[in-house]
Amino acid sequence: MKYWRVYFGAILLFGGFCISSYTASVIEIISRSDSQKSERIRTWEDWDEIIKEADIGLSKLNLKIGNQEVKLHDISWARNKTVPALNMREIGLALLAYDQTIDHGRGGFLGEIQFAKINQEMEDFVNSRLIDPVSLQEELVDIRVMPRLSGSRLNGFNNIYKSYKPSGYVVVENRFPTYKKVELMQRIRGKIKRVEQIVRTPEKDLYYSPYSPDLYRDFLVQSGRSYQKNEVVSKALDDLRNLGVRSRAYPGKLVADTIKPELLIAIPHIEQSDFGEVLVDPKTIFERVDVILGANKQKAYSFTKSPAEAQGLNQFTSGTYKGIRSSYPTADLIKDFVAGAADHVNVTKATALLIDYNRAEYIPPLKKKAEELQDKMNQLEAKLNNTRNQKSLAKLKNDLASAKTKLQIQRQVIDRIENTSYGMEQDLARYNGKPKWANKALSAHINIGLVGDWAKEPLRTETQEFLVKFRNWLELNQHWQEIHDI
């Protein structure tokens, strides 16, 4: 066992701001002496085997959490804020030897795994570098948390790690320790007081493969797409179909027969992507989601929670989940919200049901309006045939022409909703924000004859950005389908 000192983080400048950095004190670099070294050439296609080995090694680390809280400051183009205080903790890293210069035609040579234990602390650097390694007695290890495209670095168990020293290593998994706070009664200066204490919960530690450019490999991208399409979306729709869950929006049909798989594939990519980053580099940002799905499978985004308490792959909230579960009792959704939001197949079922629920609020009224306009036209045509008064004829002709135009627009919008991406945008707008704003925006678009872009006010800014992300994803998805059989 070899002990090295690591400094975890460095000064990072982005957009003129100085980003404070993590440091890490003493760590252990544990050799792979306890695992069998194989002579077989290992490649990215051996990912599952690599992660099994990483899990075993990381599970042997004794990770500690201290009672001292550290305040972390995060700067990106979208925010400049102090995130909630975290208790200082040790984080386990699995580092895979990787030599891109030795390429057997499959993306480089992959070798042994080493395991690092780092102690996360916080220091503020102003125009400074890492502490001078010359003053250290031990060999320096330089593992840094790198910024995302937006400049943000504080992503908890999904930090972007880069190993500069030892070089030629890729962080393939981290073990992020968990804890709970308990209150104890202690005698302090002769008085009994209630104090809060940290208790480690190693059985709940998060084992996760954090995204980094080093893991941006075609194999993991394709693995993520295949997993989402075949093991998540297809299974979710098959489950709803087998359970016979009926659509509220389309009476007589099953929910599974009214939802496009493409829509369910798109939602996690949109939910888990930053709007500003998508505008700069949509391909890399959306494929980042694929890599995380490919690397983590069922664990991907299962621990993710937004400031608005939206959780999991598709960012469901507790109230919405409870309402959908109640509205579709035959769908057999998991009762517990946290477990249900974390389960990919279950939350995809819930997503399909939410889409159907929202459709039931606006599609039947659109069709009813079309029927009313058709009835009005029939009545006007009957009156026109029985009227001789020239003044009345002129008015009837004008009314009939107006009704025809309105009916044409009404039928056109129904056709767009049911047969084009316009309908998916309607679904997504109601998924992201309150349906009333999408209803108002749709009505406004109908009133101007469906001219121009519908995705504007009164839609909220967040929803407009949500739809911009979807349009970028859809364009890329069509390109991907031309290249790959997905």
Summarize pLDDT for 351-379 with one digit per residue, the tens.
Answer: 999 999 999 999 999 999 999 999 999 99
How distant, in Å, are the alpha carbons of 183, 185, 187 from that of 190? 18, 12, 6
Asked whether residue 198 falls in the same domain as residue 222, the answer is no
Q: Give the C-alpha separation, 68 to 73, whole Å.
A: 17
pLDDT above 90: residue 56: yes
Q: How many domains does the chain have?
A: 2
pLDDT attached to residue 40? 61
Q: Which of 152-161, 192-201, 320-329 has the highest mean pLDDT?
A: 320-329
Asked whether residue 211 falls in the same domain as residue 332, the answer is no
The two three-digit tokens of residue 294, written as one number: 């490919």
Q: Give the C-alpha separation, 305 to 275, whole Å.
A: 18
- Of the residues 215, 235, 253, which one is the last residue of a structural domain? 215
pLDDT tens profile 141-190: 678 888 888 877 777 889 898 888 778 889 999 999 988 878 777 777 78
Asked whether residue 183 falls in the same domain as residue 248, the answer is no
pLDDT tens profile 60-105: 988 888 776 666 666 665 555 555 556 677 888 999 988 766 654 4
pLDDT attached to residue 75? 61
Q: Give the C-alpha separation, 414 to 377, whole Å.
A: 18
Per the structure, the complete domain to which residue 222 belongs is given by 217-486
Asked whether residue 111 falls in the same domain as residue 259, the answer is no
Asked whether residue 150 falls in the same domain as residue 278, the answer is no
pLDDT above 50: residue 133: no
Asked whether residue 210 falls in the same domain as residue 326, the answer is no
- Of the residues 193, 215, 237, which one is the last residue of a structural domain? 215
Lowest mean pLDDT of 108-117, 207-216, 312-321, name the range.
Answer: 108-117
Q: Give the C-alpha separation, 373 to 464, whole Å.
A: 31
Q: Which amino acid is at 105?
A: G
- Of the residues 199, 215, 231, which one is the last residue of a structural domain? 215
Asked whether residue 161 falls in the same domain as residue 227, the answer is no
Asked whether residue 238 falls in the same domain as residue 250, the answer is yes
Average pLDDT, the chain: 82
Residue 398: CA count within 13 A, CB half-sphere? 6
- Contacts with 217 (C-beta within 8 Å, 6 or more apart), sequence order: 44, 107, 291
Strand partners, 165: 142
pLDDT tens profile 207-263: 999 999 999 999 999 999 999 999 999 999 999 999 999 999 999 999 999 999 999
